[in-house]
């Protein structure tokens, strides 16, 4: 978080007081999401990391543009809902296929005949 505040320091001089901290927090959320995406081994935690990364980007966009029209927000909310349902279907299919959601176990899957 402190690193993100230092990175955003040149940008903060040109923004209004409301968005000063929001840009640093959104950058921290994106970086934490990337860290989780790289270090976690289970597919469910990787999806949570991806969603936090996406929320950080969305928070930065909303704070930098001072809001969005209501129809755009409803469209994004519907997209997130559909994505959550699709991820759930994929997780159940993966778990039924190989009895685990560990990403390390997914590396043994291949279509090449040896």
Q: Which residue has the higher pLDDT, 16 or 42?
A: 42
Contact 84, 72 (CB under 8 A): no
Structural domains in the chain?
2-106 (1.10.287)
Q: Which of 28-32, 51-55, 74-78 is predicted least confidently?
A: 74-78
How far is 4 from 25, CA to CA, in rounded Å?
A: 7
How far is 78 from 24, CA to CA, in rounded Å?
A: 27
pTM of this structure: 0.60
No. of H helices and E strands in the chain? 5, 0
Q: Report the pLDDT value the prediction gives residue 25, as an integer from 0 to 100.
A: 87
Residue 77 token pair: 């909310």
Q: Per-residue pLDDT for 34 more than 80?
A: yes
User: pLDDT averaged over the chain?
Assistant: 77
Q: Per-residue pLDDT for 73 more than 70?
A: yes
Q: Which residue has the higher pLDDT, 17 or 70?
A: 70
Q: Report the pLDDT value the prediction gives residue 20, as an integer from 0 to 100.
A: 67
């Amino acid at each position: 978080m402190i690193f993100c505040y230092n990175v955003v320091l040149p940008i903060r001089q040109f923004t209004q007081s409301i968005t000063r901290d929001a840009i640093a927090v959104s950058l921290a959320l994106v970086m934490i999401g990337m860290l989780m995406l790289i270090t976690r081994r289970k597919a469910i935690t990787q999806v949570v990391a991806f969603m936090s990364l996406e929320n950080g980007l969305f928070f930065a966009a909303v704070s930098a543009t001072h809001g969005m029209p209501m129809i755009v927000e409803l469209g994004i909310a519907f997209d997130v809902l559909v994505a959550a349902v699709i991820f759930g279907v994929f997780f159940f299919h993966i778990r039924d296929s190989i009895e685990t959601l560990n990403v390390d176990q997914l590396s043994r899957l291949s279509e090449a005949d040896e």
